[in-house]
Chain A
């Protein structure tokens, strides 16, 4: 009996030793790579966005892992994370297909099986919502680069940080533009009365993101004194939007507002054209409206359409570093950086800064680093003042230094269609086309 007891004791001691060995923090130099789980929609309706996001994130990781000349960015000058002994960033991509439940499952797998040090994602706000809840549960840091539902940073989460400005700021920009049109502040446009733009109609896709945009449009329209005649929520997977478009047209709006993902944005504009809708302004809330597919598929039909965005190739004229990264990105994918890729890039870049500051892959250390991080604006490809997260208050985890742009599709001298900046007014790169020229 006694013997068996002492045997047990010995086993316990051995176990404790082994376990103890695991618990002792490994020295920084021993970390060879930092694993970041990246959850994006690589297939499904938003697959086009997923490809862009992935390319942006991969490029950022490449720049962080190698020394690259000709890019004026701190992370391009060093190979790997210096405070971790030059550890490389390894991105593990997973595909959530736009499905929140699948996203949460993937997050669990990444945390438990792949033992990732952190998570990046997920584009769709609905998926970011469930994935961040999993991260919060397991105490794993998550940085979000491109989900813009305001609600995400209203939950007081301790393990969630968002670099992108959210929809409230973007939607406000739109109403500022409308007011600006009436006030004659817009470059190249004059003599517009507020009455000309009084009637609004909106169609938003009905997951987390679109539904929130619809709410914001409603609230802000009231605040700014516009008349929202019709607001429709539709399924982004709709294969036919003709009854929605007829309904919008029947409201006889001056301004049509959309929050759409890629395939539905294309379908929406095709249907608007087929139905000969002729509002004075068409504005898309980023996402589908600024994807390369949107431009390629619809060609000349989109001249005059506005979209809010966080990044345009034109930004390269203002920010040299954006131009340098854009060149690399174009060489890699054949496309210019867009809102999705630029923000995915910035997401990974933020991870690099957080890890550099933390000097460890310990989750608590990363958490502390995220809450105190400050990335100066000149390091970023996006036209923001920088990245600094609110660590208290009702916007916990939100970057407080971000800002948005509104671009308009115009045909350049070379016959190519591209986005010109029309808002903020002082950054305008071209005269705005007003009213929408029609089809």
Chain B
């Protein structure tokens, strides 16, 4: 029983972080219909930002969050103004290949600067601590903090988009770019804002993740894939959709734990021999694949 509850809790916690990862992707897609392949690389840069902040300032890793937000926002803006703006003039395929190139560029840049070694944070007030909920259910403090802060950030962005004038302008641009422009909304600046928020949220997620997830220049791809699956599941451009889809995806990655539960409940030998752990992310990709085949606009998507 403990393994079942542990797995479900772990799934929901990591799902909350995944939600913040996917948020930027869905905003950028919603506003400008561009798929950002470099999304995971932003997260990777967030991880390195976290590590560097800790190393340089000696502060606890949790305090690297504001730094990561600032770095991410600046990076998003820079990528838009210096690069993506020009891609928009080209055909769709140029946009796809363009962000793909951005991904390769960022990855190799980090590889050049930091090398390919895995790095992690091994100190901090939360590292190594955990909450014991009884019955063998144990929640590592770093994960809980990451999940809570992710949800808070997510809600903040949601409120910003729905309650502020700027946010509404962003939403309007996403709904109908032409009409928004007629209303005097500067579409160009909205694009830049979308990239800024997109960059900031995913970089923040990286800074939260690095407390328990080791960083390497190659870590981005996994998260790009996960974010794609979440955005497909939740509907392209849908923010609440992304949140719930992220929780579902978080639970999907915990299928091995649920499998273990049944293995030990039935004390089943063949079930114990199935290497479920090796297929942790297969479920996520499979979900993505099925949605793409059955309903390419995403499960709850409203954009065509």
Contact = CB atoms under 8 A, between A and B. Distances in A.
Interface of A: 43-45, 47, 97, 206, 229-230, 232-234, 237, 239-240, 242-244, 246-247, 249-251, 263, 266-267, 270, 273-276, 297-298, 301, 439
A246 B214 contact: no
A243 B280 contact: yes
B27 to A, nearest CB: 25
B138 to A, nearest CB: 5
Nearest to A232: B277
A243 B256 contact: yes
A243 B128 contact: no
Contact of A270 (B6, B122, B143, B260): B122
B128 A274 contact: yes
A97 B117 CA distance: 10
Contacts of A267: 120, 214
Contact of A243 (B7, B130, B142, B216): B7
Q: Which of A45, A206, A237, A247 has the most B CB atoms < 10 Å from its CB?
A: A247
Contacts, number: 97
Given A246-B7, A274-B130, A43 B116 contact: yes
B116 A247 contact: no
Given A44-B117, A97-B116, A234-B277, A239 B264 contact: no
24 contacts: A44-B117, A206-B278, A229-B272, A230-B272, A232-B275, A232-B277, A234-B278, A239-B214, A239-B219, A240-B213, A242-B143, A243-B253, A243-B257, A244-B277, A246-B6, A247-B260, A249-B136, A263-B120, A263-B214, A267-B214, A273-B128, A274-B128, A275-B138, A276-B138
A243 B214 contact: no
A329 B230 CA distance: 52
Nearest to A48: B117
Interface in B116-175: 116-118, 120, 122, 127-130, 132, 136, 138, 140, 142-143
A247 B277 contact: yes
B214 A247 contact: no
B117 A47 contact: yes
Contacts of B3: 246-247, 249-250
Contacts of A97: 116
Nearest to B278: A233
Contacts of B218: 237
B220 to A, nearest CB: 11
A402 B219 CA distance: 40
Contact of B140 (A45, A274, A301): A274
Given A246-B257, A249-B3, A276-B138, A237 B132 contact: no
Given A234-B277, A239-B216, A246 B10 contact: yes
Interface string B207-235: 00000111110110010000000000000
Interface string B268-280: 0000100111101
Instruction: Enumerate the 6 nearest inter-chain pairs by beta-carbon distance, A residue then B residue, closest first.
Output: A250-B3, A274-B140, A263-B118, A239-B213, A239-B214, A250-B260
B10 to A, nearest CB: 6
B188 interface: no
A27 to B, nearest CB: 45
Given A234-B277, A270-B122, A250 B2 contact: yes
Interface in B238-294: 253-254, 256-257, 260-261, 264, 272, 275-278, 280
Given A275-B130, A275-B140, A297-B122, A247 B256 contact: yes
B66 interface: no
A267 B277 CA distance: 16
A70 B162 CA distance: 78
B186 interface: no
Contacts of B280: 243
A13 B20 CA distance: 76
Contacts of A251: 260, 264
Nearest to A95: B116
Nearest to B1: A250
B130 A276 contact: yes
A276 B132 contact: yes
A274 B138 contact: yes
Given A243-B280, A270-B122, A297-B122, 17 more contacts: A44-B117, A45-B118, A229-B272, A230-B272, A234-B277, A234-B278, A240-B213, A243-B10, A243-B256, A250-B260, A251-B260, A263-B120, A267-B120, A267-B214, A274-B138, A274-B142, A275-B138
A242 B17 CA distance: 15
A201 B136 CA distance: 18
A232 B275 CA distance: 7
Nearest to A277: B138
Given A246-B7, A250-B264, A267-B214, A237 B118 contact: yes
B115 interface: yes
A237 B118 CA distance: 8
A277 to B, nearest CB: 9
Contacts of B219: 239
A301 B128 CA distance: 10
B46 to A, nearest CB: 14
Nearest to A296: B122
B245 to A, nearest CB: 20
A165 B127 CA distance: 38
Most interface-central of A240, A276, A301 (chain B CB within 10 A): A240
Contacts of A232: 275, 277
Given A250-B260, A274-B140, A275-B130, A243 B272 contact: no
Contacts of A250: 2-3, 257, 260-261, 264
A167 B7 CA distance: 33
Contacts of B276: 247
